[in-house]
């Protein structure tokens, strides 16, 4: 079969009425920016881009040089295209407006330019996550409040994992599709269409070092996974934790499994670890479109009405039956408490 490039795929999606020309252009621009990020991350120590930038982001986390570079690449690529009303980045407190003199479009772009960045210096996969929303009608200078739309309103979501291969995973709400970067030619080529995540899982991803801080239903659920064949689940589970969300999610998109970043006593006040707008919502959209489930342990992530651009939530996502079981344990525990 002849390879299908991302550009061809976008034209097909336009013809199918799934996207309009502006959204197609926006995705092309994001993909091109991600190719530049792939080049920058791929240089490693030779690019002089490893290490701390000496600055902090809005979350108070130390920024790596590559966090800053990736953010600039995405901002710059999107400023002039005419397809955006504004964009918001995990690395910036407020939305970024389109500079004067450039045409504006109908879309809002949100991104985490380099997720898992604590892994950069040790040469472990990192990634970019993005989400596209429609700018509310009549709004010409979008503010944070205009981005605060539930995940169900996303027009597109995707991530790029910079690993042994650079891979883009994308959804427009009509299935989840994977593209692999052909480095010689410089284009993304469709490598899996309409991905399906198995409903049952045998692998789970969680930071076990937080176990003592978890809430009782999480303790119960993971305790049962760890008990394996001899426990109530009657089967063994394997554990994986890359500590780079994009890489962990990509494993699930490839061979199933579940990813959990639950609420725990250490992060209770901030509501969770992962950001709803830049991480949880786009990943939830991608996972649901591949037949998986994504909840906070208590409710569907994409139905949450966000209250802040940098709001954090607990994240349970992956193989449907497993996420539903973990969610049921939390709901039952809450109901028993009244």
Residues that bind ligand FDP (CB under 6 A): 115-118, 207, 243-245, 248, 274, 279
Q: How far is the CB of 230 from ligand FDP (least distance, A)?
A: 28
Give the residue at shortest CB distance from ligand FDP.
Answer: 245
Residue 181 phi, psi (nearest 5):
-75, 120
Q: How far is the CB of 226 from ligand FDP (least distance, A)?
A: 18
Least CB distance from residue 93 to ligand FDP, whole Å? 17
Distance of CA 187 to the CA centre of its chain: 22
Q: Closest approach of Cβ 210 to ligand FDP, in Å?
A: 7
Angle (nearest 5°) at CA 57 between 56 and 59:
110
Q: Whose Cβ is closer to ligand FDP: residue 10's or residue 286's?
A: 286
CB of residue 158 vs ligand FDP: minimum separation in angstroms?
A: 16
For residues 85 and 142, the answer to whether their CB atoms sit within 8 Å is yes
| Comparison of 49 and 274: residue with beta carbon closer to ligand FDP | 274
Gap between the Cα atoms of 336 and 153, Å rounded: 33
Tokens standing for residue 220? 């119960």
Min. distance of Cβ 64 from ligand FDP in angstroms? 9
Listed in order, strand segments (DSSP E) in 6-48 are none
* Cα 254 to Cα 231: distance, rounded to the nearest angstrom: 27
* Closer by beta carbon to ligand FDP, 116 or else 142: 116
Strand 107-115 to strand 126-134: parallel, antiparallel, or no bridges (unpaired)? antiparallel
Cα separation values, 263 from 244, 266, 271, 330, Å: 18, 8, 7, 11
CB-based contact 168:158 (threshold 8 Å): yes
Helix runs in the chain, H state only: 6-15, 21-42, 65-79, 144-147, 216-227, 245-255, 281-289, 320-337
CB of 312 to ligand FDP, least distance (A): 10
Q: Is the Cβ of residue 81 or residue 116 nearer to ligand FDP in the bound state? A: 116
Residue with tokens 């449907």: 320
Q: How far is the CB of 305 from ligand FDP (least distance, A)?
A: 22
Please, which residue, 70 or 327, has the CB nearer to ligand FDP? 70
Q: Is there a contact between 135 and 141 (Cβ–Cβ < 8 Å)?
A: no
- Residue 72 or 145: the one with the smaller Cβ distance to ligand FDP is 72
Tokens of residue 337, six digits: 């408490």
Of 117 and 166, which has the nearer Cβ to ligand FDP? Answer: 117
DSSP per position, 147-159: H---GGG-SEEEE
Q: Which is nearer to ligand FDP, 13 or 67 (CB)?
A: 67
Question: 308: which 2 tokens?
Answer: 């802040």
d(CA 196, CA 290): 5
């Amino acid at each position: 079969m002849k390879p299908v490039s991302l550009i061809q795929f976008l034209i097909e999606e336009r013809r199918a009425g799934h996207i309009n020309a502006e959204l197609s252009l926006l995705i092309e621009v994001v993909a091109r920016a991600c190719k530049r990020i792939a080049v920058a991350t791929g240089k490693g120590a030779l690019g002089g881009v490893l290490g701390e930038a000496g600055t902090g982001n809005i979350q108070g986390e130390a920024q790596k040089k590559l966090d800053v570079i990736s953010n600039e690449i995405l901002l710059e690529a999107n400023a002039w295209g005419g397809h955006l009303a504004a964009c918001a980045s995990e690395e910036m407190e407020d939305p970024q407006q389109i500079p004067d003199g450039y045409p504006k479009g109908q879309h809002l772009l949100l991104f985490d330019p380099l997720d898992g960045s604590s892994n950069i210096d040790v040469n472990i996969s990192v990634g970019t996550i993005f989400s596209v929303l429609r700018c509310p009608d009549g709004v010409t200078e979008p503010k944070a409040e205009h981005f605060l739309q539930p995940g169900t309103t996303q027009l597109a979501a995707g991530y790029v994992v910079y690993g042994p291969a650079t891979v883009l995973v994308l959804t427009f709400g009509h299935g989840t599709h994977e593209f692999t970067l052909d480095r010689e030619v410089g284009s993304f080529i469709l490598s899996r269409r309409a991905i399906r995540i198995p409903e049952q899982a045998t692998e789970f991803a969680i930071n076990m070092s937080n176990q003592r801080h978890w809430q009782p239903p999480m303790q119960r659920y993971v305790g049962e996974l760890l008990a394996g064949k001899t426990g109530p689940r009657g089967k063994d589970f394997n554990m994986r934790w890359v500590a780079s969300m994009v890489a962990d999610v990509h494993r699930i998109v490839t061979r199933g499994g579940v990813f959990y970043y639950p609420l725990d006593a250490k992060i209770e006040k901030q509501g969770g670890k992962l950001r709803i707008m830049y991480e949880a919502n786009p990943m939830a959209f991608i996972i649901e479109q591949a037949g998986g489930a994504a909840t906070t342990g208590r409710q569907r992530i994409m139905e949450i009405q966000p209250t802040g651009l940098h709001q954090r939530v607990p994240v349970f996502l992956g193989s449907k039956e497993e996420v539903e079981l973990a969610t049921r344990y939390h709901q039952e525990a809450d109901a028993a408490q009244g």
